[in-house]
C-alpha cells in the first residue's frame, strides 16, 4: 500500500467539501496563503460560469498541522460552500425532500449511469458528487503536496495548449516562463493564441455551447529512479496517467511525444544520450517526457491531457426523462462555457500528489529531516556516478 493517500468528501451544493491527506512526513512547512492561492487559480479562467462569482474558496485545516508544520498524522482540509445558503433545504441531510427532482439526464455526464447503478430517482443524487466542484479539494491536497515538493527543489507548472481547436505555437512559448504570472486568463503563454481562444469561447457561449481543449503539466527537478519497471502497478507513468484520467471530463492522456510515437520512426522518437566533458550523460531531446521503463529518467516530466467540452449546455441536447420515459431536452445546471484553464490547475495538483507519493514510497515518510537526508544522499550518488 502506498504511504501517501487522500480521500475527498462533499457535494457540489452541500455545506462544505473535505479532504483527508494521510502519509505526509512530519516537519513539512505549510503556508495557508499558498494553499488559498492555488484554490483561487482553480476558480479563475476565461469562460467560467456564475458559480465562481459566488464562491470564495479558502481552506481550513483542522488536523495534522500545528504552528505551520505537519505532525505526521492525517491532515484534514475543509472548504465551505457559500452557495449552500441557497440550497440548505434542497440539500438537507435529514427531513422531507424539498425542491424539484432532476429527471432529464445529461448526455456525457454521470447522470444516467449513476441513477441506474445506485438506484436513485433524482439525478441530483448523482450530479452533486460527480460535479467537478469536487476538484476543489484535489487542488487543496495538491497545494500541500507542492509545498512538500518545493522543499525538495521540485517544481510543477502547467499551460493550456489548445481550446476549441485553437492551438498555441510552441515557438511563441518560453518554457522558462511557465509558472510565472503573465496575466493570462487562460493559463496560456502564447498571447496571440489566447486572444483567438477567447474569441472561440465567446462564440460558443453565444451559441449556448461549450468547448474543451488540452493542457500540459511539467515537473522540474525530479531525479531519475522514481517508480519502477518491476511490477505494473509500480510504474510511474501508469500512475500519472491514472491520476490525470481521474479528473472529470478528461478523455485522453499522453506523456512526452505521446501519440506521435505511433506514426514516427524510432530515429525521430527516442532520446539519444551523450557524454559531456565531465563524463556525465545528457540528452538533447526529451520526447520520452521524462519517463522510461516506468521510471523517471532525470529529465522534466511532461504530461498532457485532453478535456472534453462540459456536458451542461445552455442549448440542451436531446435525452430521455428517467421518470416519464419521454423524449426531453437535458437539464440545465449553472455551468461554464470552458474550464480547461481550471482543469490545468487540477492537473498540476494530481501530478503533485503522484510525484509526492513516489517520493514517499522511495525515501520514507516519517520525518522530513530523514527523508531529505535520504533524498539528497541519493541525488549525490547519482551525480557522482552519472
pLDDT in tens, 336-359: 999 999 999 999 999 999 999 999
Identify the pLDDT of residue 386.
Answer: 79
State which residues form the domain around 117. Answer: 5-385
CA dihedral 187, 191, 192, 196 (to 10 degrees): 30
Cα 378 from Cα 203, distance rounded (Å)? 53
Work out how many domains the chain is built from and give that number: 1
User: Which residues of the chain fall short of a pLDDT of 70?
Assistant: 1-2, 50-53, 334
DSSP calls for 239-280: HHHHHHHTSTTEEEEEETTGGGGGTS-GGGTS--EEE-TTS-
Pairing of strands 60-63, 295-296: unpaired
CATH at residue 20: 3.60.150.10
All three cell numbers of 136: 476543489
pLDDT tens digits, 271-316: 999 999 988 999 999 999 999 999 999 999 999 999 999 998 989 9
Amino acid at each position: 500500500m502506498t504511504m501517501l493517500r487522500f480521500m475527498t468528501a462533499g457535494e457540489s451544493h452541500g455545506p462544505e467539501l473535505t479532504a483527508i491527506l494521510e502519509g505526509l512526513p512530519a516537519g513539512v512547512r505549510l503556508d495557508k496563503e499558498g494553499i488559498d492561492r492555488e484554490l483561487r487559480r482553480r476558480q479563475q479562467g476565461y469562460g467560467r460560469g456564475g458559480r465562481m462569482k459566488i464562491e470564495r474558496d479558502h481552506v481550513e485545516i483542522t488536523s495534522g498541522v500545528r504552528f505551520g508544520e505537519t505532525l505526521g498524522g492525517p491532515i484534514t482540509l475543509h472548504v465551505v460552500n457559500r452557495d449552500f445558503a441557497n440550497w440548505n433545504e434542497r440539500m438537507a441531510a435529514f427531513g422531507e425532500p424539498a425542491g424539484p427532482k432532476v429527471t432529464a439526464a445529461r448526455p456525457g455526464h454521470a447522470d444516467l449511469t449513476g441513477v441506474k447503478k445506485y438506484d436513485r430517482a433524482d439525478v441530483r443524487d448523482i450530479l452533486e458528487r460527480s460535479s467537478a466542484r469536487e476538484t476543489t479539494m484535489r487542488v487543496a491536497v495538491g497545494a500541500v503536496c507542492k509545498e512538500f515538493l518545493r522543499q525538495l527543489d521540485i517544481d510543477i507548472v502547467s499551460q493550456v495548449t489548445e481550446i476549441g481547436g485553437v492551438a498555441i505555437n510552441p515557438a511563441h512559448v518560453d518554457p522558462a516562463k511557465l509558472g510565472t504570472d503573465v496575466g493570462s486568463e487562460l493559463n496560456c503563454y502564447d498571447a496571440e493564441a489566447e486572444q483567438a481562444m477567447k474569441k472561440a469561447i465567446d462564440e460558443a457561449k453565444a451559441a449556448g455551447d461549450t468547448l474543451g481543449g488540452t493542457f500540459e503539466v511539467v515537473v522540474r527537478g525530479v531525479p531519475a529512479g522514481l517508480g519502477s519497471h518491476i511490477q505494473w502497478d509500480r510504474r510511474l507513468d501508469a500512475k500519472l496517467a491514472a491520476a490525470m484520467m481521474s479528473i472529470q471530463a478528461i478523455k485522453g492522456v499522453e506523456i512526452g511525444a505521446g501519440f506521435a510515437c505511433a506514426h514516427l520512426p524510432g530515429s525521430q522518437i527516442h532520446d539519444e544520450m551523450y557524454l559531456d566533458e565531465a563524463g556525465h550523460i545528457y540528452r538533447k531531446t526529451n520526447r520520452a517526457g521524462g519517463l522510461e521503463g516506468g521510471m523517471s529518467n532525470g529529465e522534466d516530466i511532461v504530461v498532457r491531457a485532453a478535456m472534453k467540452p462540459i456536458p451542461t449546455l445552455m442549448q440542451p441536447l436531446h435525452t430521455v426523462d428517467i421518470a416519464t420515459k419521454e423524449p426531453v431536452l437535458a437539464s440545465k445546471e449553472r455551468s461554464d462555457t470552458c474550464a480547461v484553464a481550471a482543469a490545468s490547475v487540477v492537473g498540476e495538483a494530481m501530478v503533485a500528489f503522484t510525484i509526492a507519493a513516489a517520493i514517499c514510497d522511495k525515501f520514507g515518510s516519517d520525518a522530513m529531516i530523514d527523508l531529505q537526508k535520504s533524498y539528497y544522499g541519493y541525488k549525490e550518488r547519482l551525480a557522482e556516478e552519472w
